[in-house]
């Protein structure tokens, strides 16, 4: 079985998504978007955006193989 030679690229995408999730949900930025007079479903939209990004990376990775 031959291993994918571009494994580093998919690892980079996973690390970047992880860092993006940390930035959005566990940083001082969190206090800013949660304290503002925003809509009640904003945290759910942010989670949905992160889930869509992860699904896109997984879908793209599956078609690259």
List average pLDDT for each run of 10 residues in the chain, which is 65 residues long: 52 81 81 76 87 84 62
∠ Cα 25 16 5 (to 5°): 155
- Report the pLDDT value the prediction gives residue 64, as an integer from 0 to 100: 58
Q: Which two tokens stand for residue 56?
A: 């896109």
Predicted pLDDT of residue 4:
52
**Spatial CA neighbour of 48 closest among 26, 16, 21, 19:** 21
User: How would you label 19-51 residue by residue, b for 16+ Cβ within 10 Å and e otherwise?
Assistant: eeeeebeeeeeeeeeeeeeeeeeeeeeeeeebe
Predicted pLDDT of residue 3: 46
Return the pLDDT at 48.
92
């Amino acid at each position: 079985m031959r291993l994918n030679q571009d494994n580093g690229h998919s690892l980079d995408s996973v690390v970047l998504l992880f860092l993006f999730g940390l930035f959005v949900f566990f940083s001082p930025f969190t206090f800013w978007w949660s304290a503002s007079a925003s809509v009640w479903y904003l945290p759910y939209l942010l989670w949905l955006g992160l889930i869509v990004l992860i699904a896109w990376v997984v879908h793209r990775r599956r078609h690259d193989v």
